[in-house]
A and B are shown apart, each in its own frame.
Chain A
Amino acid sequence: MPPLSRAFVKAGFVALLLGLLAEALLARPEGLWPGLPAAAIRLSALHLLTVGWLLQVITGVAFWMFPRHRDHPPRGSAAPGWAAWGLLNLGLLARVGGESWHLGAGGPRWPLQFSALLQLAAACCIAWLLWPRIRALAA
C-alpha cells in the first residue's frame, strides 16, 4: 500500500472515531458543555463521517487499487493527493471548530468560509488525482 493511501486510510479512521465521539456527545448530560448546540455537533458528526471517513478511505483505496500506468510512476503523481489530504483535513478541522464557534458562541463565519474553500479545493485535487487512473485496461 503506497504512503498516500496509508495516510488517507489512517486519517479516515481517526475521522470515524471523532465522528462517533461527536455522535456520542449528542447524548451528553444536560450540564455538560451547555453552550454547544446539538445542531453544530450533528453537522460536524455527519461531515466527519461522510467527508472525513468515507471520502478519505475511498480515495486511499482507489489510489492504491485502480489500474496503474505502464510508464513510471505507475500510480501517477501523488502531489495532488498530498495536497488533497492536507486541504481536506485542515478544512474539516476548520469546519468542526468553526461550526461550534459560530452556532454555539455567535462566532464569525470566516472559519466556515475558509473551510468551504479548503474542502472544495480538496475535492478538485481528488478528481485530478484519480481521473487519469480511471480507464479501460489495455487487452
Chain B
Amino acid sequence: MPPLSVWLLRGALCALVAGSALGAWLLAGEPLAGALHPALRDAHFTLMLFGWLLPFVVGTAYWMLPRHAGDAPRGSPGRTRLAAAAYTAGLAIRLGGALGGGETWVSAGTALLLFGTAGFITLFWARIKPFGAGRSAS
C-alpha cells in the first residue's frame, strides 16, 4: 500500500470516529431546534462524506487500480501531491466554515474539494484499464 493511501485511509478512519461522535451528540444531546444544530449537522455531513467516505474510496483506488509501466506507476507524483493538498485544505476549510466560519468558507472549501477530487479522477482515469494493458510497451 503506497504512503498516500495509508495517509488517506487512516485519516478517513479518524474522520469516521470524529463524524460519528458528532452524529451521536446530534442524535442524543443536541435539541433539533437548538441554535447549534444546523452548524453541527453540516459539520457531521462534511466529516462523514468528505472526511470518511471519499478519502477511503480514493485511498483504496489509488492503491488498487491497475498501474502504469515505468517510473510513475500510479501517475504523476506532482499532480498527486497537488490533488491531495487541495483536498485536505478544502476539507479543513469547509469544516471550519461549517462550524462558524460562514458560507464563504464553506464555498471556498467545497471549491478546493472539487479541485482535489477532479485531480484524483484525472489520475485514476488512465488507470481504469485491463490489468497488464500498457505494460509491455516499454
Chain A residues with CB under 8 Å of chain B are 50, 54-55, 58, 62, 65-67, 95, 109, 112-113, 115-117, 119-120, 122-124, 126-127, 130-131, 134-137
Contacts and interface: CB of A to CB of B under 8 A. Distances in A.
Interface stretch (B2-10, B86-94, B119-127): B2-10
B72 interface: no
A96 to B, nearest CB: 12
Interface in B48-78: 48, 53, 56, 60, 64
A93 B19 CA distance: 20
A65 B3 CA distance: 17
Nearest to B8: A134
B20 A134 contact: no
Contact of B16 (A66, A126, A135): A126
A115 B19 CA distance: 15
A67 B64 CA distance: 11
A22 B14 CA distance: 30
A134 B64 CA distance: 13
A52 B86 CA distance: 30
Contacts of B60: 62
B1 interface: yes
Given A116-B24, A135-B1, A58 B56 contact: yes
A119 to B, nearest CB: 6
A95 B19 CA distance: 17
Contact of B28 (A55, A109, A123, A137): A109
Given A117-B24, A120-B17, A120-B23, 16 more contacts: A54-B53, A55-B16, A62-B56, A66-B1, A67-B1, A115-B27, A116-B23, A116-B25, A116-B27, A119-B24, A120-B24, A123-B20, A123-B21, A127-B16, A134-B9, A136-B1
B1 A123 contact: no
Contacts of A134: 1, 5-6, 9-10, 13
Sorted nearest first, the 9 A-B pairs with minimum C-beta distance are A123-B20, A116-B24, A113-B28, A116-B28, A116-B27, A120-B24, A127-B13, A134-B9, A120-B20
